[in-house]
Amino acid sequence: MAKNEFAAVRGRLEAERERLHGDIAALDAEDQQPSDDAGIGNHIADDATDVMNRERNAALRNNANELLAHISAALERIDAGTYGICERCGKPINPERLEALPYATHCITCQAEIERER
């Protein structure tokens, strides 16, 4: 990839990182909202809905944090000059794959093999 393409990828990754930080902040704010005396005189279904919402938010937060880790690693690879190189076979990752998944660490062939091994 050319240097100007790295700048574009970096911009996309940084924008996605900011969006994810915003999503996490919104989830945290939603979880901080007091519920209506949870457990005291509420219908059991209301309490169950509160628990389900908190569990959903925890799952979304975990997913966002995982994506943030992938994005940080991709930015580090850009800085190290190893971005776009498969970590398994050392060959270039197809640009279309990087366009779809800018934090990909493996070429499509190696990724398929990894998934088959699981």
Domain boundaries, the chain: 1-83, 84-118
Distance, in Å, from the CA atom of 107 to the CA atom of 97, rounded to the nearest integer, reads: 8
Q: Which two tokens stand for residue 38?
A: 């949870």
Could you read off the pLDDT of 16-26 as tens digits, one per residue? 999 999 999 99
pTM of the model: 0.81
Kindly state the DSSP code that residue 38 receives in the 8-state scheme: T
Q: Is the pLDDT of residue 41 over 70?
A: no
Does residue 60 surpass a pLDDT of 60?
A: yes
Cβ(1)–Cβ(9) below 8 Å: yes
Q: Residue with structure tokens 């966002």? A: 64
Residue with tokens 């509420």: 42
* The pLDDT of residue 117 is above 60: yes
